[in-house]
């Protein structure tokens, strides 16, 4: 298992999906780097999408992500406002300028194939890239996999480590995390920061954490002021801006004001995500609203909230995310929505306890509660779009995370079910779940709700 940093869990990217947009874009770009290094003359590139990428790829924008990746775009730096023009130029000219390779003829209708029949061996989110020369001979063929949360792997190679060097506290389970922290009298946030110090300076850690927080705030702000209809055949009307105005117009406070604000923050982020805007993958794009919503709740409603609390939140939430990545999966196509919204809820609950200076046991308890009541949550996006139930589900997940944190902080940290047990249960439940409920849009709401 590669070493995972908090900054692998939180990444600035574009919507609507980390597994179906961010991962494929990164894979396509990586294929062009291989091609350029090979020096081969290329006349044609054909890309086949398999498994869940075939079933819900159109709704999730996988085809567009592949084209942009072949052009050399990266999710972190791509300008979402430039995308439409770039794609229009490719489709109208029938030409694709492949990064490091050059201009080739390209037709999305024939060169981007959705293969519903065959799954590639390693993971349901598989892609096969084949480059040929003018004689039709294959000059390079490679399989890539999008493993959820923007993580990718090539063929049967292990996932490449994004960091070099083992950190001082190489925990791989909740029990190890608690024991290591206990042994050196550290809070979980302190321990995670010491691990990050293996790879970057204290100042850089602070800067990057605050950049993540700024990107989340910018995303919420855009979501709160943007109106209109989301892309896709369902013509879903955005509602965050209207809800926001309604709350600003409220003359008298109500007892559930905080909950209304949490709802609107989460919806704002997930509407931005559905519109292909810039979001922080946390730990996926489909679940990208939960952590920003709970962080905004902390910053607005918790007395004495400060930047140190924001950083504790992100360090601890990131550490909990790595436990799911190592011991289960953060891919909706593998685990259903429990692997996306459930994981984000668990991370946010733990982060909030850390921000409020709860104990290590309370943090572990909050993370456990956050997942326990998301077990079995299916993935059934209507029309293959990351909109229904995804947008509202983030609001529900954020409220649940705050409740999990409160329950944990009302106790002394002792509890019957451990975080490791619930992660293991989530994994087994995901393996037992029918593929109809794993990002294929073949079951649940996706077949019971008309698309338009
Ligand atoms: S239902 Fe959940 S896992 Fe599925 S696409 Fe929506 S947010 Fe992601």
pTM of the model: 0.94
pLDDT in tens, 65-79: 999 999 999 999 999
Domain range annotation of the chain:
18-154, 174-198+200-448
Given a cut of 70, whether residue 1 has pLDDT beyond it is no
Q: How confident is the model at residue 165 (pLDDT cuts 50, 70, 90)?
A: confident
Nearest to 445 by CA among 365, 356, 336, 368: 336
The CB of 386 under 6 Å from ligand 1? The reply is yes
Residue 397 has pLDDT above 60, yes or no: yes
**CA-CA distance, 303 to 319, in Å (whole number)?**
25
Query: Of the residues 274, 379, 437, which should be mutated to test ligand 1's pocket, given the most ligand atoms within 8 Å of the CB?
Result: 379
Q: What sign does the dihedral 133-136-139-144 (CA atoms) show?
A: positive
Q: Is 327 exposed, middle or buried (0-12, 13-18, 19+ CB in 10 A)?
A: middle
- Output the pLDDT for position 452: 64
What's the CA gap between 370 and 425, in Å, rounded? 13
Q: How far apart are CA 338 and CA 375, in angstroms?
A: 6
User: For a pLDDT cut of 70, what percent of the chain falls above it?
Assistant: 99
- Helix (H) or strand (E) segment spanning residue 146: strand 138-146
Does 334 contact ligand 1 (Cβ within 6 A)? no
- Is the CB–ligand 1 distance for residue 332 below 6 Å? yes
CB atoms near residue 59 (< 10 Å)? 24
Radius of gyration of the chain (CA): 22
pLDDT given for residue 164 in this prediction? 81
For the purposes of burial, counting CB atoms within 10 Å of the CB of 446, is it exposed (0-12), middle (13-18) or buried (19 or more)?
Answer: buried
Pocket test for ligand 1, best of 381, 383, 446 (most atoms within 8 A of CB): 381
44-50 and 126-132 as β-strands: parallel, antiparallel, unpaired? antiparallel
The C-alpha angle 195, 146, 198, rounded to 5 degrees, equals 10
Ligand 1 centroid from CA 154, angstroms = 24
pLDDT tens for 126-147 read 999 999 999 999 999 999 999 9
Pick the closest to residue 191 from 303, 315, 67, 70 (CA basis). Answer: 315
Query: What's the confidence (pLDDT) of residue 159?
Result: 81
Q: Are 348 and 166 in contact (CB under 8 A)?
A: no
Sort 17 into a burial class: Cβ within 10 Å, 0-12 / 13-18 / 19+.
Answer: buried
pLDDT of residue 2: 53
Say how many CA atoms lie within 13 Å of 184 toward its Cβ: 14
Task: Enter the tokens of residue 352.
Answer: 């909030």
Mean pLDDT in residue range 21-25: 96
3-class secondary-structure state, position 13: strand
Taking residues 50-57, report their average pLDDT.
Answer: 95
Distance 16 CA to ligand 1 centre (A): 10
Cis peptide before 389 (omega within 30 of 0): yes
| Mean per-residue pLDDT of the chain | 95
Q: Which of 178, 427, 107, 214 is nearest to 320 (CA)?
A: 178
Looking at residue 450, what is its pLDDT?
A: 81
* Residue 137 Cα to chain centre, angstroms: 37
Instruction: Work out the pLDDT band at 19, boundaries 50, 70, 90.
Output: very high
Q: What is the mean pLDDT of residues 231-254?
A: 95
Token digits of residue 373: 């009541």
pLDDT at 206: 98
329/16 Cα distance (integer angstroms): 19
Nearest-5° Cα angle at 288, 287 to 291: 100
| Ligand 1 geometric centre to CA of 393 (Å) | 8
Q: Which of 337, 383, 388, 389 to mutate to test the pocket of ligand 1 (most atoms within 8 A of CB)?
A: 337
Q: Which of the residue ranges 2-11, 149-158, 360-369 has the most confident prediction, judged by mean pLDDT? A: 360-369
Residue nearest to atom 2 of ligand 1 (CA): 337
Nearest Cα residue to 17 out of 103, 175, 146: 146
Q: Is 352 in the pocket of ligand 1 (CB under 6 A)?
A: no
Three-class secondary structure of residue 360 per DSSP: helix
Find the 337 Cα to ligand 1 centroid distance in Å.
5
List 95's β-bridge partners, or say none. 105
Cβ neighbours of residue 115 closer than 8 Å, sequence gap 6 or more: 48, 49, 50, 54
Integer distance in angstroms from the first to the last C-alpha of the chain? 44
Q: What is the atom index within ligand 1 of the atom nearest the CA of 336? A: 3
Q: How far apart are CA 266 and CA 71, in angstroms?
A: 32
The predicted model gives 40-45 an average pLDDT of 96
Closest ligand 1 atom, residue 337 Cα:
3
The CATH homologous superfamily of the domain defined by 18-154? D-3-phosphoglycerate dehydrogenase; domain 3 (3.30.1330.90)
**Which has the closest alpha carbon to 269: 311, 225, 230, 222?**
222
Chain center to CA of 85: 26
- Counting atoms of ligand 1 from 1, which one is nearest the CA of 380? 1
* Nearest to 92, CA basis, from 113, 106, 112, 72: 106
pLDDT bucket at 343, cuts 50 / 70 / 90:
very high
CA distance 175 to 205: 25
Give the pLDDT score at 131.
97
- What does the pLDDT read at residue 327? 97
- Give nearest CA residue, ligand 1 atom 3: 337
pLDDT, tens only, 358-368: 999 999 999 99
Residue 3 has pLDDT above 80, yes or no: no
């Amino acid at each position: 298992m590669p070493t995972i940093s908090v900054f692998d869990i939180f990444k600035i990217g574009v919507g609507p999906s980390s597994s179906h947009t961010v991962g494929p874009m990164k894979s396509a770009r990586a294929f062009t780097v291989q091609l350029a290094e090979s020096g081969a003359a290329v006349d044609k590139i054909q890309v086949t999408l398999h498994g869940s990428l075939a079933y819900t790829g159109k709704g999730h924008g996988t085809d567009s992500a592949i084209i942009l990746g072949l052009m050399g775009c990266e999710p972190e730096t791509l300008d979402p406002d430039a995308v439409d023009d770039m794609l229009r130029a490719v489709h109208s000219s029938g030409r694709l300028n492949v990064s490091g390779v050059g201009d080739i003829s390209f037709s999305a209708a024939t060169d981007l194939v959705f293969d519903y029949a065959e799954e590639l061996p390693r993971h349901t989110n598989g892609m096969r890239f084949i480059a040929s020369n003018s004689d039709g001979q294959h000059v390079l063929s490679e399989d890539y996999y999008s493993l959820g949360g923007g993580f990718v792997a090539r063929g049967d190679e292990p996932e490449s480590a994004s960091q070099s060097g083992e950190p001082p506290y190489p925990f791989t389970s909740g029990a190890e995390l608690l024991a290591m922290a206990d042994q050196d009298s550290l809070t979980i946030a302190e321990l995670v920061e010491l691990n990050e110090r293996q790879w970057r300076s204290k100042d850089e850690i602070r800067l990057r954490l605050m950049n993540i927080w700024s990107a989340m705030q910018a995303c919420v702000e855009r979501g709160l002021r943007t109106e209109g209809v989301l892309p896709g055949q369902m013509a879903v009307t955005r509602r965050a801006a209207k809800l926001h105005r309604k709350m600003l117009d409220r003359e008298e406070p109500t007892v559930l004001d905080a909950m209304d604000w949490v709802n609107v923050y989460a919806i704002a982020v997930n509407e931005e995500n559905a519109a292909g805007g810039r979001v922080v993958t946390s730990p996926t794009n489909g679940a990208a609203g939960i952590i920003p919503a709970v962080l905004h709740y902390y910053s607005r409603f918790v007395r004495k909230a400060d930047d140190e609390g924001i950083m504790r939140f992100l360090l601890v939430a990131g550490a909990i995310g790595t436990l799911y990545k190592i011991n289960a999966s953060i891919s909706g196509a593998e685990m259903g929505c429990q692997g996306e919204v459930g994981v984000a809820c668990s991370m946010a609950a733990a982060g909030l306890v850390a921000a409020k200076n709860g104990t290590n046991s309370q943090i572990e308890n909050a993370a456990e509660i956050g997942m326990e009541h998301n077990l079995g949550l299916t993935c059934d996006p209507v029309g293959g779009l990351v909109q229904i139930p995804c947008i509202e589900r983030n609001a529900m997940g954020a409220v649940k995370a705050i409740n999990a944190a409160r329950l944990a902080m009302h106790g002394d940290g002792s509890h019957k079910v451990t975080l490791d047990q619930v992660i293991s249960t989530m994994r087994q439940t995901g393996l037992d779940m029918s593929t109809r409920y794993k990002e294929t849009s073949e079951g649940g709401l996706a077949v019971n709700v008309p698309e338009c």
